Amino acid sequence: MILVTGATGSIGTHLVRLLQERGVAFKALVRDEGKGRALGCDVVTGDFDDPGSLAPAMAGVDRLFLNAGGAQPVDGEQPMVRQQKAAIDAARAAGVSRVVKVSVWGAHRGGRLAEGAHWEIEEYLKASGLGWSMLRPSGFMQNFITGTAPFTAEGKLLDGYGGAPVLYIDCHDIAACAAALLTGSGLTGSGGLGETYELTGPRALTHAEIARELSAVLGRTVEPAELSPDELAAWARDQGLPARFAEDLAELSRKVASGSLATTTTAVRDLTGREPRTFGDFLAANAEALRAGLTSVAGGAA
């Protein structure tokens, strides 16, 4: 039995559908029972902020998909670290044999924003005695329809990377990799145990290229708006984000501008047996959601 956390999120919803299609036994951990019922699968309610709710959720579970948290730091603490450590503790107590964790590209000790938090969780999981596999995806293509990707009020796509190419991946491909590791489908040898996979799409794109692809789908021009790292930090502060977050964002943008997020990997193909989706594939599959999302962001600007 698999327990899927983060089941109503960008990766979890795809994973739920894949497991349903394959007839695999699983249940989804959700905070909101109503949203859980909409998934059309067995659900159990629980909250990573309530460790007592995790033990019953783990009953009968032997494999865990760990993907939740990611909230903004509070008083310098990343809540995700505490939350996911609690889930790992509950999994160990329940006798779970394997955890597939979604981490982040470039996770390392002392990393900015989620990089450092995910590294700390990775190390905790490795020391837990549980079987583990890490998925470290690059930026999500879904960011362009969820409002995470930064746009100006006029609908321009912000580029804080100095025109450098950036790798994005469709969350459907992350879910497919997770499904392969959780079910052992098509895997040989260790089945991915003790392995860390850096996940990317098939090609890095500049934000100018992304803007052109968005324009073709939307039927109107989306222009890129290039900002320096310091200007990007100022923009973030203007959006009400904490000063420390803005500083970290600027430092990460400098890294990406130097090419840190431009090298593709074969991990999606290695795990799933197929090539990852292109940005064009993603846009074609999500055109309606994209139009709705950017219309609300840009106030219907044409």
What's the average pLDDT block by block, 10 residues per block, for the chain (302 residues)? Answer: 94 96 95 86 92 93 89 68 95 97 93 88 97 96 80 82 93 97 84 95 95 90 88 84 83 86 94 96 89 57 34
* Nearest alpha-carbon partner for 159 in 203, 207, 205, 204: 207
* Number of H-type helices and E-type strands within the chain: 13, 11
Q: Tokens for 17?
A: 């559908």
Residue pLDDT, tens place only, 254-274: 888 888 888 999 999 999 999
Model pLDDT, residue 37: 85
Q: What local confidence, expressed as pLDDT, does residue 266 receive?
A: 97
298 phi and psi angles, rounded to 5 deg: -95, 5
Short-list 151, 130, 90, 145, CA closest to 289:
145
Residue 12, token pair as written in the block? 């979890």
pLDDT in tens, 169-178: 999 999 999 9
Sequence-separated (6 or more) residues with CB below 8 Å from residue 107? 114, 115, 116, 118, 119, 122, 136
Question: What is the reported pLDDT for 293?
Answer: 67
Of 166, 171, 111, nearest to 135 (Cα)? Answer: 171
228-234: long-range contacts at Cβ-Cβ below 8 A with a sequence spacing of 24 or more?
Answer: 228/160, 228/162, 229/160, 229/253, 229/254, 229/257, 231/160, 232/150, 232/158, 232/160
CA 163 to chain centre: 23
What pLDDT score does 295 carry? Answer: 57
Q: What are the structural domains of the chain?
A: 2-137 (3.40.50.720), 140-169+201-262+278-302 (3.90.25.10)
Phi, then psi, of 100 in degrees rounded to 5: -105, 110
**What is the per-residue pLDDT for 296?**
52
pTM of the predicted model as reported, rounded to 2 decimal places: 0.91
pLDDT computed for residue 153 by the predictor: 75
Residue 82, Cα to own-chain centre: how many angstroms? 18
Residue from 226, 232, 231 nearest 159 by CA: 226
What is the structure's pLDDT at 299?
41
